[in-house]
Structure 1
Amino acid sequence: MKGLLLRLSALDSDAASAVRVISFFDVLVAQHAGLERLVASTAQLAECPAGLSVPETGVWLRADAAGVSLAEAPPPAVSRELDGGGRVWLERAGEPLPLDEIVLERFAIAASVLLNETRARLSGLDDPALLELAVSASAGDAERSRALHLLGFSPLTPIRVLATPHALPDPPGPQAAIGSQHAVLAPAETIVPTGHTIGVGPMVPAMRAPESWRAATVAVRFAAPGVIDTVEWDSLGALGPIAQRLPADGVGDVPDLAALDRLAAEPGGQDTLDLLTAVVATDSVRKAAALVHRHHSSVAGRLARAEATLGFDVHSPGGRFRLTLALALRRLRDS
């Protein structure tokens, strides 16, 4: 198709140019191009954003002039209805070009043909399989929008994806096991369940669910069960992107992690680590003690021994940051 990508701005509104446009769409149909390719190619041909929407089946696609997928609501645009429902559109800024009408006509015809080829592709899938499609980065936009529709979401609905090591007993949305985690697709305003280890992805349009899922799987790695159960990607700041790029063996020789490992190997070591985690999660020793269900007067000695092993004051601004980073890196290493 690279050789068939035309520029409407370079064509005259004559019969020969119209035939070239018709041939462009005929080749897409003959090659059984996917709907994503159809929309992207049309946008590149027209040199403006283009889209396809079929509310009955949930298919919703939009691409910019470079053919890159978009997941935002389009502005008012010139459109053409499809046989059987739905529409296609071109988002031309300014006056339409002479060949826009024939582009829309052939775009609509090609969309109708290709929709018939793909209409039943997801029939028979259950909710877990549909959810896996919705959060999969390898799924096409047409499959994703159709799966979202069957799950009860529109492509532009604001959502968050949750990642949890264990299935939630009362999930706030569709849930499925994906690898070592469980994914939950939830409306953005959902209150996250408490008492469970959960990573919360950022709010995105449902069509960008794979981005939220990937972030949620990173966020859950920063959780400390029993102390910090829920971690939101948005609260991680720079730590989130760093964790996405950090190789599994990239922190093995950090001295502060070695000191934490020595603490963990001592009798009651996990209690010490929980206390240190509570210290960086709160703003006082009293609150930290309450978080781990200890009296504040009984934790002073444990903190002092921990500081002796760590080699720094965990209450100073620098020590607090250093401990926060070390604990985070240790959870990343071990998750």
Structure 2
Amino acid sequence: MEALAVRLSGLDSHAEGAIRVVAFYDTLMRRRVDLPALARASAGLAECAAGIRIHGTGQVVRAASDGTPLRGASAAASSTVQITLDEEEIGTVWLERPGPPVPLDEVLLDRLAIAAAAVLERYGPARTTMADPALVELAISADGDRAARARALRLLGFAASSPLCVTAVRSARPLDQIAGLVCPSRPVKSAPLDGVGVIMAAAIDPSGFPPDVRAGIGGGGSADQSWRQALIALRFTGPRRPVVHHDDLGAMALLAQIPVDAMRDNADVAAIARLSAEDLEILDAYCTTGSLRRAADVLHRHHSSIARRLDQIGRTLAADLTTPTGLTRARLALTAVHLLNN
């Protein structure tokens, strides 16, 4: 490895030095070095300590200019560059030069970051959140060859035989940011697919979703089954219930299997679909809380005015909403209308 080291102090021009640095790292990458060897070579080239830190694992590799491994906390970095893979920041590389950075430090660190990303991708799975959408689609597809799906899961970093929780997400937030919040401990993979975000992990923390995110969480099982459940759960989400776990739906999940035409033809569903936005909000609050007074509290209205509106809605539905049967009919029809709009 020492024979590869090109001393920066011997270079006559910045351009020539940059070319030599690029060639140096190209040679290292062809030799398939690991992170410790990469750190040692970089420290020898820069003639000062160099370090690599991987965020996902917390791994830190440092080496002195003579190639000796360094332990403990690093000294103050003179310059740093982020390691990125699949457009995600996965780590940091740095130099610990005693004085100010020299002109070629920026080139050296850029190439070191690229080389470190290549090492992680080669010996991975790479510790990134974002994944190839085509690979994710293959892993969660119910069609195709089982062996191909198993291979896709392995490439994503998951064992084909292990239960997997897949989540369907709709949000304007970056998908990798959401995945990091709901699954702070790796492995987790995510990708956009047909307008819906896909998050794959062994387990998901529902409390980690920001309030503006709609998420349907599938049950733990095979990836394709969990994805189907996640899409069903996503249809049940709304302003009052932005995150829905398929396991919590129970028999309600069966409503998602009813043909659209059959839903629209139902008299209760058709009647609720004709209600005004205000009446729909009142009915939704009442069905959600199961109480006239609690619905009034949620809507910040007087309970007597809510009672009058519910009485009018009940006449429209030809059902007494104060009875268990009437309330059940309203809940089912309201859910059906919600599914038709989602």
Give me the whole-angstrom Cα distance separating, in 1, the residues matched to 2:302 and 2:245.
29
Q: Deviations over 1:230-275 (max 9, x none)?
A: 222222223324523x222122221111211221xxxxx2232122
| 1:185-223 CA distance string (max 9 Å, x none) | 13325235152222221121xxx1111111221222222
Q: 1:321 and 2:328 equivalent?
A: yes
Matched, 1:214 2:228: yes
Q: Please tell me whether residue 252 in structure 1 is matched to residue 264 in structure 2.
A: yes
Q: Aligned residue for 2:218?
A: 201
1:27 corresponds to: none
Say whether residues 1:183 and 2:174 are aligned partners: no
Kindly provide the CA deviation profile for residues 112-133 of structure 1, in whole angstroms up to 9, marking residues without a partner as x: xxxxxxxxxx99x943332222
Q: What is residue 29 of structure 1 aligned with on the other side?
A: none
Query: Which structure has the larger Rg?
Result: 2
Pair 1:141–1:276, CA change in 2 (3 A): same
When the two structures are superposed, what TM-score results if normalisation uses the length of structure 2?
0.52
Secondary structure, aligned partner of 1:153: coil
Pair 1:300–1:148, CA change in 2 (3 A)? same
User: What is residue 169 of structure 2 aligned with on the other side?
Assistant: 164
CA separation of 1:126/1:165 partners in 2, compared to 1, >3 Å: closer, same or farther? closer
Task: State how far apart, in whole Å, the 1-side matches of 2:304 and 2:164 are.
Answer: 44
SS of equivalent residue, structure 1 residue 322 = helix
**Following the alignment from structure 2 to structure 1, what is the Cα–Cα distance between the partners of residues 291 and 233?**
24
Deviation at 1:326, TM superposition (A): 0.4
Distance apart, 1:316 and its partner CA? 1.5
Is 2:294 the counterpart of 1:281?
Answer: no
Per-residue deviation, 1:296: 4.6
Aligned with 2:158: secondary structure? coil
SS at match of 1:251: helix
Which amino acid counterpart does residue 320 of structure 1 have in structure 2? L
| Residue from 324, 329, 337 that aligns with 1:330 | 337
Say yes or no: does 1:239 pair with 2:252: yes
CA contact (8 A) 2:217 2:230 kept: yes
* Larger CA deviation: 305-314 vs 254-263: 305-314
In percent, how many aligned pairs have the same letter? 39
What amino acid is aligned across from residue 202 of structure 1 in structure 2? G
**Cα distance in 2, alignment partners of residues 139 and 313 from structure 1:** 50
Q: 1:13 matched to which residue of 2? A: none
| Contact map agreement 2:311 2:321 (CA 8 A) in 1 | no
| Aligned match for 2:160, one of 151, 155, 158 | 155
> Per-residue displacement from partner, 1:14-55 (whole Å, max 9, x unpaired)?
xxxxxxxxxxxxxxxxxxxxxxxxxxxxxxxxxxxxxxxxxx
Match of 1:226 among 227, 239, 253: 239
> Where in structure 1 do 4 or more consecutive aligned residues deviate above 6 Å?
none
Pair 1:130-2:130 in alignment: no
The structural deviation recorded for 1:318 is 0.5
Alpha carbons of structure 1 residues 247 and 141: separation in structure 2 relative to 1, 3 Å: same
Contact preservation (8 Å) 2:131, 2:190:
no
Relative to structure 1, the CA distance from residue 309 to residue 181 in structure 2 (aligned partners, 3 Å threshold; closer, same or farther) is same
Residues in 2 aligned to 1:156 and 1:140: alpha-carbon distance in whole angstroms: 15
Q: Secondary structure at the match of 1:174?
A: strand
Q: What are the residue-to-residue correspondences of 1:48-63 with 2, within 5 Å?
A: none
Letter in 1 for 2:232: V
What amino acid sits opposite 1:135 in the alignment?
I
Displacement of 1:137:
1.2
How many residue pairs align between the two structures?
A: 203
Q: Which runs of 5+ in 1 are unaligned?
A: 1-121, 264-268
- Contact kept in structure 2, 1:160 and 1:186, CA below 8 Å: yes
CA distance 1:253–1:166, shift in 2 (3 Å)? same
**Cα distance in 1 for residues equivalent to 2:295 and 2:201:** 31
Deviations 1:258-307 (A, max 9, x none): 211221xxxxx223212222222223233334444556555333323222
Q: What residue in structure 2 maps to residue 299 of structure 1?
A: 306
Task: For 2:210 and 2:319, locate their aligned partners in 1 and report how far apart those are by CA, in whole Å.
Answer: 33
Q: Is the 8 A contact 1:163 1:220 kept in 2?
A: yes
Deviations 1:149-182 (A, max 9, x none): 3333222433322223335542234222222422
Cα–Cα, structure 1 residues 197 and 248, in superposed 2: closer, same or farther, change >3 Å?
same
Q: CA RMSD in A?
A: 2.8
Quote the residue 1:43 is aligned against. Answer: none
Give the Cα separation in 2 of the matches to 1:209 and 1:128.
15
What amino acid is the match of 1:273? L
Assess, with a 3 A threshold, how the Cα gap between structure 1 residues 259 and 295 changes in structure 2: closer, same or farther. same
TM-score by length of 1: 0.53
Q: Which runs of 5+ in 2 are unaligned?
A: 1-124, 183-187
Q: Secondary structure of the equivalent of 1:164?
A: strand
